[in-house]
Structure 1
């Protein structure tokens, strides 16, 4: 018998339908799709506790199977396929994705719920020229992302997150003209971030990979609203890149090796949490206006100069482990004692003072840490364990820092 991944002959179709003695409804399903669904079913199995395939009985109409949606034409085709129980925390499937998926030529949506699907992404998916949605996240897929996915010119969402994929992010994927959502986080992808050409791209999530190298300013489109590149090995300056992306409402560049200044404009973006920690950003920080972002984390960088008073409107501010100097602005004290600031971490800098009454009581809902600066903290408040036990920097470090600053 011919492989289910090839287009069956008319005689084979007749024999298959006759052998199954299927009702008329089954005969209306396109024969190629019928055989493809059979092959897909044979390559996948329910994990313990899952009953997704219990009603996949090919003596009945496959268009009524759970997860299968067909169009209403006289020769019905599968247009949407969702493999597995979509309910939260439901057990998933195990097995491999059969190449017969590529024979479902009218398929517009393909989703596989979280489970234990392993093996490679079938190369045959490039034939699904109508595909708009492809999501196979939270499984155990391995190997490289097929470059031929770049032939899916109608693809809008590509989610291959939480797998074991390796190799590059194909430049062909970056060139997809209709792409809106790209989610490849929590894999083992390496190499550079490719240029993205889609003018409708709003979300890029490449978190927790092994990507490296710079991200040139023109590589990301102005349409971006969500950008997460954290936990990689990306490097170089991003000030020109961030200056262009004025539509961002989520930004996480933490845990990389980015360098250079942070543009002041980024503090005015409509972001709820700004995560730039654990990089090598340097220079002065100059917000263009009062910062209304609820949480700002710039910790573990090489930022210097005085702390801008514009940060006193931030509810949770992490400036620890930098090179800030001078006095803490008085506006911080007022808002801290008034419970407007919930977290103010300033430890491990070169700060020289803060005007606060030693008898002042920090509100129970607020956290202040001043340890390991060029001063003795005037108030006692609990610090995270990472701050260490030393209250102040050694005097020689402060002298050396002032000398080097000239």
Structure 2
């Protein structure tokens, strides 16, 4: 009994000595101890070798202090290809009340994100991408008025996106892609600084209201979900977009022509149910445009001939392909031109013309015999032309 009492007194004395030397808040010291006990290096990692609690914790790898508080915690070796951590995120993280940044490298961390994150009122950056976190996203994130970046991508999170998140006025980056989230997109984000929204590869559903996202959004990725309804109202508001991916959903309606005037580098709208013609009012400077596997119709616009990689296949486009495409294909300006599985009737290219090896053209299964230079992917099938009856019915 006496020996046990002496041991406890020595432990307390050691804690006081360390705390006095490091001038670290005792609550932060205890929180770091709990966090360390719940996480471990995977084989090949040596991140925690510096975490010796007989020394100043502010000198630990990944720990950054200001005055007597921990202000940043970057867990794991950030070198590319290095192993990560295993274990769980301890609820004691909520005791680090001065924390402004928390990151964790890709690894094998499991379990839920602690609800105690709601206590981190100074938190600006929270990123735990590419681990095995599960459960729902804590509603408490919506209480963090200073939060700018929330990155929970590539985990196994379930449930819906907490509605209080939309009220965060400082939020700039919302990255929740590659999880198992369900429900709808919360509407009317309060932030006028929101620039990146990445919700790709989830199970999100429902309509997206025109005012759901602020005009400040520049990067929008909603691909591989189950969203429905028209998006023309939304897209006409987001005039600062430089990246847009709405692929693999159930969107309907028309594609607004104004979209092609935005400073976009990649436009991916494939595998939806968009209808109608696509007629940009000016030459398009987007490097990649994928409108394949929709229900688009009408003539192929010459304004799209300036696109480097253009996918219009598996639609209902008609008529002859404008000469601009032939010119830009033969001079190597167009690298990919996929027009297969439409109702096109002509592509005027000289049979002796050489298409650069760096360029790909596919015209199979249209209302014409494709030129010899047309080299298609295997999924285009083996039938070169459409049955005559289908072409006649469409003209009629």
TM-aligned CA deviation for residue 87 of structure 1: 1.2
Deviations 1:176-229 (A, max 9, x none): 111000100000001101122211100000010000111111000110011000
Q: How many residues align?
A: 388
Where does 1:310-389 land on structure 2 (aligned, <5 Å)? 310-389=303-382
2:262 aligned residue:
269
2:108 aligned residue:
116
Q: Give me the whole-angstrom Cα distance separating, in 2, the residues matched to 1:81 and 1:393.
A: 61
Q: Give me the whole-angstrom Cα distance separating, in 1, the residues matched to 2:168 and 2:348.
A: 56
Deviations 1:94-141 (A, max 9, x none): 001100000001111111111111000000010000000001111000
Deviations 1:264-306 (A, max 9, x none): 1111111111111111111011112100111111111100000
Q: Secondary structure at the match of 1:305?
A: strand
CA contact 1:22–1:60 (8 Å) conserved in 2: no
Q: Secondary structure at the match of 1:217?
A: coil
2:76 aligned residue:
84
With normalisation by structure 1, the TM-score equals 0.93
Q: Secondary structure at the match of 1:22?
A: helix
Distance 1:43-1:402 versus aligned 2 partners, 3 A rule: same
What is the aligned counterpart of 1:178 among 158, 170, 175?
A: 170
1:5 aligned residue:
none
CA contact 2:19–2:29 (8 Å) conserved in 1: no
Where does 1:157-306 land on structure 2 (aligned, <5 Å)? 157-195=149-187, 196-306=189-299
Any gaps of 5 or more consecutive residues in structure 1? 1-12
Q: Give me the whole-angstrom Cα distance separating, in 1, the residues matched to 2:21 and 2:250.
A: 57
Q: CA RMSD in A?
A: 1.5
2:137 aligned residue:
145
With normalisation by structure 2, the TM-score equals 0.95
CA contact 1:255–1:278 (8 Å) conserved in 2: yes
Distance 1:143-1:23 versus aligned 2 partners, 3 A rule: closer
Q: Give me the whole-angstrom Cα distance separating, in 1, the residues matched to 2:22 and 2:384.
A: 80
Distance 1:135-1:163 versus aligned 2 partners, 3 A rule: same
1:41 aligned residue:
36
TM-aligned CA deviation for residue 402 of structure 1: 2.1
Any gaps of 5 or more consecutive residues in structure 2? 1-7
TM-aligned CA deviation for residue 380 of structure 1: 3.5
Q: Secondary structure at the match of 1:244?
A: coil
Distance 1:182-1:300 versus aligned 2 partners, 3 A rule: same
